[in-house]
Amino acid sequence: MQTKWNLDTAHSEIGFKVKHMMISTVTGHFENFNASVVTGTDDFKNADFDFVASVESIRTKNTDRDNHLKSDDFFNAEAYPQMTFKSISFDGDTMIGDLTIRDVTKAIELDVDFNGVAIDPYGQTKAGFEITGTINRKDFGLFWSAVTEAGNVVVSDTIRLSIALQFTKQS
């Protein structure tokens, strides 16, 4: 029997980190996103994970940088308002799935810590995951770059993903 789990957005975060000028790290997240899981087993192996994020909701604690990220130099939020992920396989530790950004779809591999299942104080069954991985932004058409006078690259090609998800079991 299959079970559907819906995202608990109050206890979830889609975050990323990227090197800036190769000397510091900028962190950011997406404020508007949703995800669901359909599973046939209690250990979530071979579960189907679906995720969508609003590109317009990207936040990095700097309005000018956020607007630049939404522009055609990066995500082009106007033409490509969403990024999506659909899992292909999940063995309990590693998830492989198709990530789509700017209408470019590539298979990526993510490391997953399944933190287990618990019943909250309201009687709802929850499941928690911590997911990490890296992607190359240029694989998805985010090519903008610049070099400082000292020769440092302004934005690294490597993006580190840090994702915390909590799902609620649907009855």
What pLDDT, on the 0 to 100 scale, is given for residue 145?
80
Q: Which residue has the tokens 């109050």?
A: 10
Q: What is the pTM of this model?
A: 0.92
The mean pLDDT value for 116-145 works out to 95
Cα dihedral 24→16→55→93 (10° resolution): 160
**Domains of the chain, each with CATH number or no CATH:** 3-169 (2.40.128.110)
Total residue length of the chain: 171
**pLDDT per residue over 22-71, tens digit each?**
778 999 999 999 999 999 998 899 999 999 999 999 999 999 999 999 99
Per DSSP bridges, beta strands 48-54 and 58-59 are unpaired
